[in-house]
A and B are shown apart, each in its own frame.
Chain A
Amino acid sequence: MAASAAAKIAEVRETTRVERIGAHSHIRGLGLVDSLEARYVSQGMVGQVSARRAAGIVLQMVREGRIAGRAVLLAGQPGTGKTAIATALATALGYDTPFTSMAGSEIYSLEMSKTEALTQAIRKSIGVRIKEESEIIEGEVVEVQIERPATGLGTKVGKLILKTTDMETVYDLGGKMIDSVLKEKVQSGDVITIDKATGKITRLGRSFARARDYDATGQQTRFVQCPEGELQKRKEVVHTVTLHEIDVINSRTHGFLALFSGDTGEIKPEVREQINGKVAEWREEGKAEIIPGVLFIDEVHMLDIECFSFLNRALENEMAPIVIMATNRGITKIRGTNYKSPHGIPLDLLDRTIIIPTKPYEEKELKEILSIRCEEEDCQMTDNALTVLTRISKETSLRYGMQLIMTSSLIAKKRKAQEVDVEDIKRAYQLFYDEARSVQFLREYQQEFMFNELEEEEKMEVN
């Protein structure tokens, strides 16, 4: 009995997902006007006007889609909004344009070579828009039945009853389908379409017949007519897949299932060549359209010399996406060599890139960003506290300042205050060290730490 109650609670949790707040979740776009001029504060972006304007021009270049294989480098000190600009660019590009985000260190894997990882990343950033006829099921949900076995283990059994104005049918659901039905929170009265091959569920709206079920409905609730005729239809749908997805589908006998299992391994170059040919053919016939996207490589100085020379070559391909790189390094060693170069990137690649610098934020901008973050993290703060926090961020770093928002708001909550005041910030500032104070602390108490009795033989190399 208790076990079943617990299972029920777990189920309820499953269906109400919490929106989590990430470091850049307040960004909704680049915040530009139509003439690509940057607004000072807009769509979650603050300051950095010239860099944003430059990013807007890059955005235009991607949208036009005629120029292949350009590289853009975002260079600037830590915490000056490089990743924020890239995130903004991704959101501004919209849903249909592929945007692949990776960190430079992601390519080092035991399962595939560095160049393979890079090739896959590049191919993930090129979309192909294809028209294809596919079988869909379109109807109004009459009932959803999902039962889990009494033991709590084993596979779930699901049934979905759908109807149109002319018919009604019971469908059996597979395991994956049950999950997506739960995730989409499909309930009776919804009008949905299901792609039979991929199992993708799209909710069209609520049926008019159910318009009076609730007194209050959300603003975004759309009411639609119950579909007519047969439940199963053949429809021409336009969908965007990436070249990488086509590679995977064709490289294995078990087809697209490999996409879900994640085990893609290395893909033979012959397969890629064949697909390039095929795609070019479709393009000529007008069946497909190529959408070059964006590949964003964060911490690009983590790539080594082999990757850079590979990138040099890959960018020359006419199917190449626009590559945006970000780095916070100055003149430093190129990984894998003993040569020094600006940003840790070889000069020949640097020569091919356009460089967008980001500058440290002004105090006014810091304050604006902090107040946006406060809003995002659902935290009320007095003006005085915000000024203090801005000062702290100015002295230490913006990232440290942002960490203090949540911590001090929790402290304020403990003393049952509505707003975060200077006191709370002070307390959080004392509790949590920033980097400079931590170093200071270590200098003072170095002697008492572990392994300190060993003589320092050689100085650690820091670059």
Chain B
Amino acid sequence: MSDWFTKLKNAKKSCIIDGNLKKIHYDFGDGKEMVEEYDLTTNCVTRRAWRYKKDLKSESAWEIEVGDPEPNYNVEEKCMIREDPSQPFVSRRITKKSLEWRIRNLPYPVDVYSVTIEKETYSLIVRTSNKKYYKKVLIPDLERLGIQLEQENVSFTHKFNTLIITYQKPNKLIEFEKALFEEIKQIQPKNYAEDVNNCKPS
């Protein structure tokens, strides 16, 4: 199968089960780490995050690829510059059949938006005809597997100040995810509850 699959297979994996969620940590050994969180009722990824070792700084923060961003406390002190909370932001979700993006805080009517694909960079481009919002959304899932994008898989709706973009999962991706999930089933979780009880405070 694909390079990405073998890479995942060879990565150092560990996992824990927390209630209904199975969390898997992949260490790729080249300074890259990935964490995935699977919902065990739907077998879908609910969160996925990356962390890279940087050259200069000792360690960078987790970058969220799928799911809600980490809540950030006392940003005021740490932050130099950030987008106003009232500005649009993107969050990603993966369902059984499709990849979804929600762009919140977008008040403009639905006929303003256009979503097109850009094949070379594996990304969707969201434009507004009133020139108020523009965003290039990468689809790393497809890029990693090298699956070409198709314009007819893209659809979008607008409701409650939110633009919802849906991309139908290609068959190849569904197959890959199935195979990966079989792989993940094999990893034995460390029993979380037991571990806590066995912890010996010096």
Note whether A and B form a binding pair: yes
A-side residues, CB < 8 A to B, are 130, 132, 137, 159-160, 164-174, 176-177, 194, 196-199, 229-230, 241, 246, 249-250, 255-256, 282, 287
Distance between Cα atoms of A166 and B113 in the complex (Å): 12
CB distance from A256 to the nearest CB of B (A): 7
Instruction: List A contacts of B56 (CB < 8 A).
Output: 130, 132, 241, 246, 249
Given A130-B56, A176-B80, do A230 and B135 touch, yes or no (CB 8 Å)?
Answer: yes
Q: Check B84 for interface membership: any CB of A closer than 8 A.
A: yes
Distance between Cα atoms of A170 and B89 in the complex (Å): 12
B-side residues, CB < 8 A to A, are 54-58, 76-87, 127-128, 131-136
Distance between Cα atoms of A287 and B83 in the complex (Å): 32
Q: Decide if B55 touches A282 in the complex (CB within 8 Å).
A: yes
Interface SS of B by simple majority? loop
Closest to A251 in B: B58
Distance between Cα atoms of A172 and B84 in the complex (Å): 5
Q: Decide if A199 touches B133 in the complex (CB within 8 Å).
A: no
21 CB contacts below 8 A, A to B, read A132-B54, A132-B55, A137-B81, A166-B127, A166-B131, A167-B135, A169-B83, A169-B87, A171-B81, A172-B83, A173-B80, A176-B80, A177-B80, A196-B80, A199-B81, A241-B56, A249-B56, A249-B57, A249-B58, A255-B57, A255-B58
Closest to A166 in B: B134
A-B CB contacts (within 8 Å), total count: 76
CB distance from A62 to the nearest CB of B (A): 25
Q: Decide if B84 touches A159 in the complex (CB within 8 Å).
A: yes
CB distance from A20 to the nearest CB of B (A): 28
Instruction: List B contacts of A229 (CB < 8 A).
Output: 134, 136
Closest to B125 in A: A229
Distance between Cα atoms of A177 and B54 in the complex (Å): 24
CB distance from A315 to the nearest CB of B (A): 27
Instruction: List B contacts of A230 (CB < 8 A).
Output: 134-136
Distance between Cα atoms of A229 and B84 in the complex (Å): 19
CB distance from A137 to the nearest CB of B (A): 7
Q: Decide if A172 touches B82 in the complex (CB within 8 Å).
A: yes
Interface SS of A by simple majority? mixed
Instruction: List B contacts of A172 (CB < 8 A).
Output: 79, 81-85
Instruction: List A contacts of B133 (CB < 8 A).
Output: 166-168
Q: Decide if B81 touches A174 in the complex (CB within 8 Å).
A: yes
Distance between Cα atoms of A35 and B58 in the complex (Å): 46
CB distance from B162 to the nearest CB of A (A): 17
For the complex of A and B, 10 pairs with smallest distance between CB atoms: A199-B80, A166-B134, A167-B134, A170-B84, A177-B80, A174-B79, A174-B80, A177-B81, A167-B133, A172-B84
Q: Decide if B132 touches A168 in the complex (CB within 8 Å).
A: yes
Known A174-B80, A249-B56; further 15 A-B contacts with Cβ < 8 A: A132-B56, A166-B127, A167-B131, A168-B131, A170-B87, A171-B81, A172-B84, A173-B80, A176-B80, A177-B81, A199-B80, A229-B134, A230-B134, A246-B56, A255-B58
Instruction: List B contacts of A132 (CB < 8 A).
Output: 54-56
Q: Decide if B82 touches A171 in the complex (CB within 8 Å).
A: yes
- Which of these, B58, B81, B128, B135, contacts A173 with CB under 8 Å? B81
Instruction: List B contacts of A256 (CB < 8 A).
Output: 57
Distance between Cα atoms of A414 and B135 in the complex (Å): 64
Closest to A158 in B: B81
Instruction: List B contacts of A130 (CB < 8 A).
Output: 55-56
Instruction: List A contacts of B86 (CB < 8 A).
Output: 170
Instruction: List B contacts of A199 (CB < 8 A).
Output: 80-81
Closest to B58 in A: A250
Residue among A132, A166, A282 facing the most chain B CB atoms (10 A cut-off):
A166
Instruction: List B contacts of A137 (CB < 8 A).
Output: 81
Closest to B78 in A: A174
Distance between Cα atoms of A255 and B77 in the complex (Å): 15
Instruction: List B contacts of A168 (CB < 8 A).
Output: 131-133
CB distance from A360 to the nearest CB of B (A): 48
Instruction: List B contacts of A171 (CB < 8 A).
Output: 81-84
CB distance from A260 to the nearest CB of B (A): 11
CB distance from B71 to the nearest CB of A (A): 17
Residue among B56, B77, B79, B87 facing the most chain A CB atoms (10 A cut-off):
B56
Distance between Cα atoms of A160 and B136 in the complex (Å): 22
- Which of these, B55, B76, B134, contacts A174 with CB under 8 Å? B76
Instruction: List B contacts of A287 (CB < 8 A).
Output: 55
Instruction: List A contacts of B57 (CB < 8 A).
Output: 249, 255-256
CB distance from A392 to the nearest CB of B (A): 53
Distance between Cα atoms of A159 and B55 in the complex (Å): 32
Distance between Cα atoms of A176 and B132 in the complex (Å): 28
CB distance from B54 to the nearest CB of A (A): 8
Distance between Cα atoms of A167 and B125 in the complex (Å): 13
Instruction: List B contacts of A173 (CB < 8 A).
Output: 80-81
Distance between Cα atoms of A167 and B77 in the complex (Å): 28
Distance between Cα atoms of A170 and B88 in the complex (Å): 10
Distance between Cα atoms of A130 and B87 in the complex (Å): 34
Distance between Cα atoms of A95 and B82 in the complex (Å): 30
Distance between Cα atoms of A230 and B134 in the complex (Å): 6
CB distance from B27 to the nearest CB of A (A): 21
